[in-house]
């Protein structure tokens, strides 16, 4: 990855990670989901560029993982509350999937490869922590709900 591309990805990743954290802290569902959804595009683009360079099959696997995250996090206008048990259970499973995708991304970047700059692994950790915060808040606080 050349320095210009790395700078663009670093700035975009930082902005989208901050958007995700801000949405989580403010319990703003749309901001949180937009942050995660748009952040998912960065690994897809980066791994596509890496695949074009060396044709390693791991890049295709990572592309599909973050394509799944993109689809799962894509915001919609449907609003549901705690009384909808099916939606609540499904949102918990989706949050767990996003948590695992980002923990896996962080492990891959920080422990298994040297081709990707470390800051991208840290972004995955921050997003995973934001999701974990929301999951903890939901479990520990009765009646915790999205504000928007």
Q: Report if residue 47 sits inside a domain.
A: yes
Read off the pLDDT of residues 58-71 as tens digits, 9 standing for 90 and up.
Answer: 999 999 999 999 99
Is residue 147 very low, low, confident or very high in pLDDT (cuts 50, 70, 90)? low
Q: Report if residue 10 sits inside a domain.
A: yes
Q: Report if residue 147 sits inside a domain.
A: no
Q: Report if residue 130 sits inside a domain.
A: yes
Phi, psi of 79 (to 5 degrees): -110, 130
Q: Report if residue 145 sits inside a domain.
A: no
Could you list the residue range(s) of the whole structural domain that residue 23 is in? Answer: 3-140
Q: CA–CA separation, 13 vs 40, rounded Å? A: 10
The predicted pLDDT at position 48 comes to 95
Q: CA–CA separation, 37 vs 73, rounded Å? A: 5
Read off the pLDDT of residues 80-92 as tens digits, 9 standing for 90 and up.
Answer: 777 778 888 888 8
Q: Report if residue 148 sits inside a domain.
A: no
Residue where the block lists tokens 């948590």? 99
Terminal-residue alpha carbon distance, the chain: 38
Mean pLDDT score of the chain, rounded to an integer?
A: 91
Q: Report if residue 80 sits inside a domain.
A: yes
Number of separate domains in the chain? 1
Q: 3-25 and 29-54 helices cross at what angle (nearest 10)?
A: 160
């Amino acid at each position: 990855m050349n320095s210009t591309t790395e700078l663009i990805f670093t700035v975009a990743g930082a902005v989208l990670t901050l958007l995700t954290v801000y949405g989580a802290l403010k319990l703003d569902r749309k901001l949180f989901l937009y942050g995660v959804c748009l952040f998912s595009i960065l690994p897809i683009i980066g791994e596509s560029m890496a695949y074009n360079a060396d044709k390693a099959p791991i890049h295709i696997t990572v592309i599909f993982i973050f394509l799944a995250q993109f689809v799962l996090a894509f915001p919609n206008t449907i609003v549901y509350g705690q009384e909808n048990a099916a939606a609540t259970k499904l949102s918990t499973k989706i949050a767990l999937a996003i948590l695992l995708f980002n923990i896996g991304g962080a492990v891959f970047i920080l422990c298994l490869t040297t081709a990707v700059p470390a800051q991208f692994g840290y972004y995955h950790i921050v997003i995973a922590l934001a999701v974990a915060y929301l999951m903890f808040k939901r479990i520990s606080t009765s009646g915790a709900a999205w504000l928007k």
